Structure 1
């Protein structure tokens, strides 16, 4: 399922990568398209590493796995999963010339702005059309 409500993509990113400030300017239509493409490409990656984390922790993945967690407090065995996910997610961002700061800013805005959230969801659906 790919919805803005599920966009906890940075959930397995290392603490230092996930802590960014939101932008305050208007989000352009091309940014929404780019963001939607990134989300659609990162989501299967996030799911893959989440399944790995579930397997490593017998289905009990810490609720704040990597994201928002001080790197020194990441449970043993989760560090490599977090690092691999973070690296792959960053590669997708680079592919679309989107910075982590831009991605996180749009994610935060979408969580606070239902109109933006609906625009992103509509764009994701449009991009998935044959």
Structure 2
């Protein structure tokens, strides 16, 4: 007979997959945010951006669309580097890209270019995407909204 505690506290594979995908998506968003912030200015007087449901939906769609390309680029770079540690790659930091082998540089640049297009195709500017990504780091309510939107979008079958 199973223990009751195991029954209630054992995370399901689906739940673990959703959690890991969410955190992977947020990590992707962070990398993209760093990649496209050509000049970030801190302004203490500016209130945090207000994000509406349309922007949350666009943001989540962009993150979901970027994830397969991010995983693919990561795997390709990993194969090229071999057993070495893969450095943090930031698109607007030429040092992070220049430190890679030539083929890996091409993969990273292609990924960054493709991700920028995905963001714009989903109705957000790079600045909007970056602001949402930064806001996610400090706003638990927004984080929950984005998480729920990601889950909803993954469950909803795409219309032809």
What residue number does 1:109 align with?
135
**Which structure 1 residue ranges, 4+ long, deviate > 6 Å from structure 2?**
none
Task: Give the direction of change, closer, same or farther, for the CA distance of 1:14–1:128 in structure 2 (3 Å limit).
Answer: closer
Distance 2:137 2:106 in 1: 28
Distance 1:76 1:114 in 2: 35
Unmatched 5+ residue regions in structure 1? none
What TM-score, normalized to structure 1?
0.81
Residues 1:86 and 2:112 aligned together: yes
Cα shift at 1:58: 1.3
What TM-score, normalized to structure 2?
0.68
| Per-residue Cα deviation, 1:24-66 (whole angstroms, up to 9, x for no partner) | 321111110110111111111111111111112114211x223
What residue number does 1:7 align with?
26
Q: Which has the higher contact order (CA 8 A, sep 6+)?
A: 1
What residue number does 1:61 align with?
86
SS where residue 21 of structure 2 aligns?
A: coil
Structure with the greater alpha carbon radius of gyration? 2
Would you say how many aligned residue pairs link Structure 1 and Structure 2?
Answer: 127
